[in-house]
Amino acid sequence: MKVVLPPLSPEPPFSVRIPFLLLADGVTRLTLVRHAQQVFPTEDEFDHTAWDDPILSELGRVQAAALAGVLTEQDVDVVVCSSMHRAKETAEIIAFPLGLTPEVRPEFVEIASYRELEPGVNPQTLVDPEEWAAREQAFYRQVMWDHMFFGEGSAEFRARIMGAITKLIADYEGQHIVLVSHGGVINAVISEILGIEEDMFFLPSHCSVSRVWIKEDIRRVHSINESQHLHDGIRTN
């Protein structure tokens, strides 16, 4: 049986659909995807380089395939990703059934946590233990990159990401962009729109989706951390 939709009603005064761009033409839709689960280091001794750029785990590839099934039902124009292995692998898996080739943009790499350290150096050996503990507790209370040692600062990171987002939107204005990146990147974008100071106010699930719609100077968050395409057996953070 064919379902006949009723005619649309005229918009009332102060319609909430209008400011959220639901009735506008030429809207840029930005779908923010966190990469799928990566391989985590298993060594007892912390080595910051082992955490920098791992590949996807087997479960991660399953997660990416689940997301690919969802995105094939949508009109995606371009898939963009950071240059890190976990983001590129995820992007390749979701782009393939769409007939697209991911565009790699290195400016969307994750926060550079220990960029000032040489490989093999344990950062805890370079800091007074009491100062380390105090900064670590401060980080647990408010996730700000400025609390960490030897890395990219909060303002610097957010400026990098928002500059890259502005260029991305300008390059693909009016299209549906899928950006595969990282938890810190996604938080930077949404925090900037919502006026949130904290660098990470939520932890996106692997292969979760957050959606932002943009037109001119209006930027609206439509969803955060969608993960209904990942059943409990394959959902991870």
Domain ranges of the chain: 28-113+154-173
Q: In the structure encoding, which two tokens stand for residue 197, read together?
A: 């100071």
Which one, of 81, 60, 150, 61, lies nearest residue 111 by Cα?
150
Which one, of 53, 71, 35, lies nearest residue 205 by Cα?
35
Q: Has residue 50 got a pLDDT over 70? A: yes
d(CA 16, CA 2): 30
Residue with tokens 């290195």: 106
pLDDT at 1: 64
For 12-37, what is each residue's pLDDT tens digit?
999 999 999 999 999 999 999 999 99
Q: In the structure encoding, which two tokens stand for residue 215, read together?
A: 């037109």
Q: In the structure encoding, which two tokens stand for residue 94, read together?
A: 């979701």
Say which residues have a Cβ less than 8 Å from residue 146's Cβ, sequence separation at least 6.
153, 154
Q: What is the rounded average pLDDT of the residues 70-88?
A: 97
For 94-112, what is each residue's pLDDT tens digit?
999 999 999 999 999 999 9
Q: Has residue 90 got a pLDDT over 80? A: yes
For 136-186, what is each residue's pLDDT tens digit?
999 999 999 999 999 999 999 999 999 999 999 999 999 999 999 999 999
pTM score, two decimals?
A: 0.95
28-113+154-173 sits in which CATH class? alpha beta
Contact 200, 34 (CB under 8 A): no
Q: Has residue 10 got a pLDDT over 90? A: no
d(CA 124, CA 150): 11
Contact 28, 56 (CB under 8 A): no
